[in-house]
Structure 1
Amino acid sequence: MTIRAVEWNTDSIILLDQRLLPKKTEFITLRTIEDVWESIFELKVRGAPAIGITASYGLALWASQATFDSVDKFKKELSVKKDYLCSARPTAVNLFWALERLVSSIRNTDSIEQAQAQLVEEAIRIDLEDEEVCRQIGEHAWTLLKDGDTVLTHCNAGGIATAKYGTALSPFYLGKERGLSLRAFATETRPVLQGARLTAWELQNLGVDVTLITDNMVAHTMKTNSINAVIVGADRVAANGDTANKIGTFGIAIIAQALGVPFYVAAPLSTIDLSTKTGDDIKIEERHPDEIRRIQNELIAPTNIPVFNPAFDVTPSHLITGIITEKGVVKGNYEEALQALFT
């Protein structure tokens, strides 16, 4: 079963509310740019590619509703609205990439009506391109795997985090299409439980043999269950290969290296940010303390206990066996290899 997390509907956006999974599969309608900002910030939509797609549709939605007496005023306000949407989540580079691409697409346009149409067309193009990119990532991932392998993954980098197929989960989708089998171990992914709520649900619906574990079971599971590879997604890849992903990824990479298990990052070129030199330059989002203090609004800790709640961590490139992109698997000197992808 394939569910699209984001769909354009001419005068609105249809969005899968991922906060409600797995209890409830509910689609909501976004009619304003404020709805889009709130949906990104509140994690109704998550996953770097899906965030970028939603934001691009959101900017196109605002543009289609806007009325100005000159194209210059329209473009100036479009830039303001782009910055507004960028403020929703600071770590996922796809958000900035998609919105900048939209603004750039009308740079030479001299009428508001033409600009409005072009923005919608560009947002749809970003959506369709992501589906093909994810399929290609899956193709390249299969060069590293064989039928019957067991893969451990962290957080959710599946079809509902992208246009279709996913990044880290794309080999599972392609495997199902081709009659090949992969077994999965999915981490729970505290504190928001994207692995338990989303990855386990998604892979189970796909018919994959998936086992759920808590985050602190990774080392024991990797040692005792013949894990053939770890594949995770990414929210930003720096020029040197350092990678920001959901909090806990760094620790899993350390365990994988200690146990000799290949550790792969699956990421489209839109997630690679050559303007960010190293992982130290990536801004790490810190979220509300109640994500730690509570689970589904039930208090599990003292009410006012101080909390440190970074949403992401950075895995240094020396712990990454390879980065799987739509152009192939990058290994070795990441600074040179990643740059070569864009030349």
Structure 2
Amino acid sequence: MKFMCWEGYDSPDIIKPFEEANDVSISIDLITDSPGGFAKLAAGAWRDFDVVATDSPWVQRMGPADIGEFLDDAEFADVYESFYPQFRAPFAPLDFDGKTTGLPTRWGWVGPTVNTKYDKLENWSSYAPCFDPAYKDKICVLDWGDWPIMPMALYAGIDPYKELDDAELNEIRLVLRALFKNTRAIVGDLSVAQKGLMDGSFRTLIGGGTYCTSALRKDGQKEIMSIVPEPKDGLNQGIIWMEAGGVVKDPVDDAKAKALLRDLTSPEVAVKLAWTEATCNLVPSQEAEALFTDEQKDVLQMDYMWEAWDKSHFHNVAPNIDQMLEIWSQELAAAR
């Protein structure tokens, strides 16, 4: 069996027990770029894979692209029953024309990441400090594709997940221009961003959220937190990201491919998937919550997760993403 996935899913603690229990050998293809992984499958590599675990918008597209199998919700009814109600079928983020394309596996939120030793969380009830001269060059913007663009669009009063007209795209240009005017810290390397956050050089990271926070909190730095700003102009200001697992079209063994999906979403494996060396993330399994220690729950900010959920949009591939990325590149080049 061949498995395309993000780091964490390849953990021996997850893979080896499944291999032994199902008399199968799993070959792993690690990805660091979800669109790239999808493009690889769509170009014909789907014939070489059985299961994929990647960002949910790309799993959602596998069925309609004819490179993934649709799932029967009834077959996975017990899995859905183990999930939090928010993730149970019918689940829109993994639905295409009433058919299910995959199962959710990990999730978190995008919002300001703050070191409370140097700043107050309440200062980040909005993205306004990004444009405040008092914070000049103390805002670290992660150069991570669309992730920093979407929050700025939402702050400007624009929903970036709908079709945008020229005027709305220009508003996004202006808000990015103002952002770059107030900070020169545009960083692609997470370790550099985290170091600046820890030593106070940066008051916040923009475009990352819980994905940037968990490893630091796991190391005992509980002063690092990711939150979601309050709604503004009728728009939620946070973004929920999610990973999902899907069965690739015509797997070698359909039953074992589905068994791997079932395994990844089981409470016992979900806890392992949530707590990896690289990062720590929330999981959809409600039954898994009882298996986490109080320390793990604290690291994952589980007491805050539904507040973040309620204040957020669900991430998807935006219709105008290519134009927004081009605007980002143009404004960043002009700022430098």
Superposed pair shares fold, TM > 0.5? no
TM-score tier, shorter chain, comes to under 0.3
TM-score of the superposition, structure 2-length normalised?
Answer: 0.27
TM-score (norm 1): 0.27
